Amino acid sequence: MAMDKKIFDIIPPKRLHIFVKEEAVPEILKKNIEKPEITEEPVIEIAHKERMLPRTKFVLKKKTIFFVVLAVVLLAGTVSAYFFLPIVKIEIWLKTDNLNVKQDIEINKETKAIDALNHILPGRIIIEEQTLSKEFKASGKVVKEEKAVGTIRIFNDYSTSSQPLVADTRFVSDEGKLFRLVEKTVVPGQSMEKGKLVSGFIDALVRADVAGPDYNIGASTFSIPGFAGTSRYTFFYAKSSSAMTGGFKGESLAISPEDLENAKKSLINEIKENINSVFENKALSGLILAQEKNPIVIINESSNAKPGQAIDTFIYDVKAKGRAILLSEQDLKEISEIYFTKELTEDQKFLSESIKINPLVGAIDESLNTAKLSLDISGKIYKDLETRFVKDQLKGRPVQEVEKSFSELSQISKAKIKIIPSFIKNLPQDINKIELKLNFD
């Protein structure tokens, strides 16, 4: 050969491929030599190989960071534990006693502030009067007998002289129904009108002689049987222009004693509610309403009907008067706590939220705008336990010793100690790490 063959070896990391320089191959061999396929595999693997070195460095850095962070966390935890642990929570239940105090005071409209020394409290007297009237239905039953009544016109055709008729004078209708004159009546005599003699007459009220509906007769003509057998019988007579009414016999509604009593109770309850509603509307926020033992008095009660009266409905009336006192809630609480505190010893205190005040109004002088008020004050008291002093006494002591000390104190009913972490047996020296909570029985 004129030229030496040159062969270049390229050895990849995993596979070995022989590359022949194309220009060094004779033409005759080019057809028989299959050109090798060049893949990207060596490049990929080389590239992969090139990336492996930085990844290893990164993993090393992550481990370093992890241990650094862990060390910081442990250090922070240690510091935190030093400053914040242990944590002690102590709950103490103190024994309580009930105390009751009574005090009489005066309410005066003119007083502007509390005067505990002279037992005077500012307040306002309110007075409310109301009248209530209602119609009620009768529920009783009676056998009712009523006589028919009506008006008749009595004529005098006998003479020009008047004719007196006594009460109960009988008049008999065309149907034979007997009626009697209700009152004494004088029938005028005849008189001359336009040259003619006319009858004298008068209208009068008559009542049936017998009860019952049979006497509710229509317009009729009446004779006077007392004149029978005399000349007057024909010339004295009467006529009615309308029917007789009111005749009745049978069972009817009537007022029973229970009807009147129930009506009275109903109205009294209603009028009391009305007056109390007025009082409550005046007791705005911050005010307390104090009332007498019997704050509402019935001044008058009456009815237009009586028991046994045969009517369908009746009216009942009630008049009542109520009195009350309006007090400042804050003033009442303040003066009550003053009286309550006076009954305590130096080592005693009271639970403010347990104080209950029952004000009872005594005599009220409306003219002077003054009233007597009796205060009934009750509440719970306990022996004082100063928390900071207790903490100072407990710090650094063993838990069991503290529990025993609590059980020996007379004012403590029970105690509960919780310490974090639980394996610590002594209370911390730092009282700020001791949380003390007082409860009351």
333-345 per-position pLDDT tens digit: 999 999 999 999 9
Asked if 427 contacts 397 with a C-beta cutoff of 8 angstroms, the reply is yes
Q: Does 425 reside within a domain? A: yes
Do 165 and 246 fall within a single domain?
yes
Q: Does 232 reside within a domain? A: yes
At residue 21, the pLDDT reads 44
CA 230 to chain centroid, in Å, comes to 86
Asked if 421 contacts 77 with a C-beta cutoff of 8 angstroms, the reply is no
Q: Does 138 reside within a domain? A: no
Do 224 and 150 fall within a single domain?
yes
Q: Does 431 reside within a domain? A: yes
236-289 per-position pLDDT tens digit: 999 999 999 999 998 889 999 999 999 999 999 999 999 999 999 988 889 998
Q: What does the pLDDT profile of the chain (441 residues) look like in tens digits? A: 444 444 444 445 554 444 444 444 444 444 444 455 544 444 444 444 444 445 555 555 777 776 666 666 555 544 454 455 678 888 888 889 999 999 999 999 888 899 999 999 999 999 999 999 999 999 999 888 899 999 999 999 999 999 999 999 999 999 999 999 999 999 999 999 988 999 999 999 999 999 999 999 999 999 999 999 999 999 999 999 999 999 999 888 999 999 999 999 999 999 999 999 999 998 888 999 898 888 899 999 999 999 999 899 999 999 999 999 999 999 999 999 999 999 999 888 999 999 999 999 988 988 888 999 999 999 999 988 776 777 777 777 888 888 888 887 888 888 888 888 878 888 888 878 888 888 888
Do 224 and 209 fall within a single domain?
yes
Do 8 and 59 fall within a single domain?
yes
Residue 207 CA: distances (Å) to CA of 166, 214, 247, 398: 14, 13, 9, 112
* Helix or strand holding residue 356 (H, E): strand 356-365
Asked if 407 contacts 324 with a C-beta cutoff of 8 angstroms, the reply is no
Do 77 and 92 fall within a single domain?
no
Domain C-terminal end among 52, 83, 114: 83
Do 223 and 167 fall within a single domain?
yes
Do 24 and 88 fall within a single domain?
no
Q: Closest by alpha carbon to 288, among 382, 355, 359, 217?
A: 359
* Torsion of Cα atoms, 251 then 253 then 258 then 260, to 10°: -150
Q: Which domain holds residue 217?
A: 143-251
At residue 301, the pLDDT reads 95
Q: Does 361 reside within a domain? A: no
The beta-carbon contacts of 410-413 under 8 Å, at least 24 apart in sequence, are: 410/95, 410/383, 411/94, 411/95, 411/382, 411/383, 411/385, 412/92, 412/93, 412/94, 412/95, 412/385, 413/93, 413/94, 413/95, 413/441
The tokens for 57 are: 């460095």
Domain C-terminal end among 220, 236, 251: 251
Domain C-terminal end among 188, 222, 251: 251
Q: Does 414 reside within a domain? A: yes
Q: Does 110 reside within a domain? A: no
Q: Does 434 reside within a domain? A: yes
State how far the Cα of 411 lies from the Cα of 390, in Å rounded to an integer. Answer: 13
Residue-wise over 224-235: b if at least 16 C-beta within 10 A, else e?
beebeeeebeeb
Asked if 307 contacts 256 with a C-beta cutoff of 8 angstroms, the reply is yes
Do 91 and 70 fall within a single domain?
no
Do 17 and 69 fall within a single domain?
yes
* Furthest C-alpha separation in the chain: 201
Do 71 and 169 fall within a single domain?
no
Q: Where are the beta strands (DSSP E) in 82-169?
A: 87-94, 97-108, 120-122, 124-137, 140-146, 149-156, 163-165
Per the structure, the count of domains in the chain is 3
Do 88 and 47 fall within a single domain?
no
Q: What average pLDDT does the structure give for the chain?
A: 84
Do 226 and 147 fall within a single domain?
yes
